[in-house]
Amino acid sequence: MEKMNCPPDFRCPISMEIMKDPVTIVTGVSYERKNIEKWFFVYNKKTCPTTMQCIESFDMTPNHTLKRLILAWKETLLAPPSTSSSMPQPLIKHDEMVSLFTALESSPFKVSSMKKIRAIVELGDETKSDFIRSGGVEAVVGMLINQFDNSDFVSFQACEEALGILHLLPLSKQDEKSFQLISKSDPMRSIAIILQRGSAEARFYAVTIFRKIAKTGFNWNPLLEDQGSDLFKSLLELVYDGICNKASSYALEILFEILSSSKKSRLKAIEAGAICILIELLPDSNRSKSEKMLLLIKLLCESPEGRMAMVDHSLGIPVISKALLQVSNLATKLGVKILWQVCNFHPTERVLEEMLMYGAVKKMVTLLHLEGRLSSTKKKVLEMLKMHYNSWRRHQCFPCDLKDYLGVK
């Protein structure tokens, strides 16, 4: 409840979490200290995440006023409810919202109008429903498309504000009209470009919208044909930055929906560097992200190009080997499938030696005792051990007593 009713200015534009130690940078925007420090000094960014302005000074000034306001707001949440029967409630008239819609096209203050609309929509489910019934989706999507053709900064900012409204909506197939309006080619193209070039906050809005649309079985092929590998690059950048955990997780979910529904899309993801990025991030990821990354690597390794990228990466076999029996049962099963694909199609001497050297073979032998009799994972392990027994048995660390168990000569 606290996060749902939080004033937008109390959230860090990078993580979207309520700030505890807000600091202001030279552009006048406030951020959570640890997030903006990571942006500048870990990821070596030289722009303001919100405005995307290039900056030369990385000075940070503690925003004591904002901090006091946040603390005061939190105290009001903890205060006991008033016994007064006339508690003031925000009374937003239907006519006010409609007038804002009609003013969007002609008003020179589009950013301000969009912020007012968003403030109304954020009040709760009732105002969201009223927004949809009153033609708000049509008005905001229309503004998003029309303004995107302009190249000035204010127009682009207005488009970012539009996403700030649209990301609050359910966007499910139950709300068919809103879904159809947003999932058309022009709005989707605009959202994809904001995902590539927008501020940190706007990129979060974009990935949230894409995640909701991805859950509906959306056909991504037209957008991929228009954007090429740029869509994958922007999603992978969100995964790689890791500044906002929620945005990173959403990006992984979108990648899975796209790659699992279209084999053609996998080549574009590989060209965008998906295998390389996922392998490098895997060792330091938590359980949930590790499983999602392994699932993506498994999908990509179903193609020759994916397997080649996997074995060509110096960390490919070591990272997958390390994940076995360490992260979770699902991660182990996915890791075995990846190694099985590699062993079937790219069993080079270097690959087989690395599997032995980095513990994959030893862990597979352990899996023979842990897995059930008819499990698909155990079957794949047996196939690999039989297939490459002659290569591995020459090494002292390989258990030669497996010969009879495997039924090899």
Instruction: Identify any residues that bridge with 11 across adjacent strands, giving them in sequence order.
Output: 18
Element (H, E) at 370: helix 360-370
Q: Which of 170-174, 309-313, 384-388 has the highest mean pLDDT?
A: 309-313
205, 196 in Cβ contact below 8 A? no
Q: Residues 106-134: pLDDT tens digits?
A: 677 788 888 888 888 888 888 888 888 88
Q: Residues 245-270: pLDDT tens digits?
A: 889 999 999 999 999 888 888 999 99
End-to-end Cα separation, the chain, in angstroms: 66
- DSSP of 254-307: HHHHHHHH-SHHHHHHHHTTHHHHHHHHGGG--HHHHHHHHHHHHHHTTSHHHH
Which band of pLDDT confidence, cut at 50, 70 and 90, is reported for residue 104? confident
29, 48 in Cβ contact below 8 A? yes
Out of 310-324, 343-357, 382-396, least confident range: 382-396
Mean pLDDT of 356-364: 88
Mean pLDDT of 64-74: 78
Residue 341's closest CA among 290, 298, 392, 287?
298
pLDDT surpassing 80 at residue 89: no
Within 8 A by CB and 6+ apart from 324, the residues are 331, 332, 335, 336, 359, 360, 363, 364, 367
* Cα–Cα distance, 220 to 265 (Å, whole number): 9
Place of tokens 């405005």: 51
Supply the pLDDT for residue 304.
92
Q: Residues 200-227: pLDDT tens digits?
A: 899 999 999 999 998 888 889 999 988 8
Entry pTM: 0.76
Supply the pLDDT for residue 409.
56
Place of tokens 């925000």: 90
Out of 12-26, 47-61, 363-377, least confident range: 363-377
pLDDT surpassing 80 at residue 56: yes
Residue 199's closest CA among 233, 226, 160, 164?
160
Mean pLDDT of 55-68: 85
Question: Which residues in 110-244 belong to E strands, given as ranges?
Answer: none
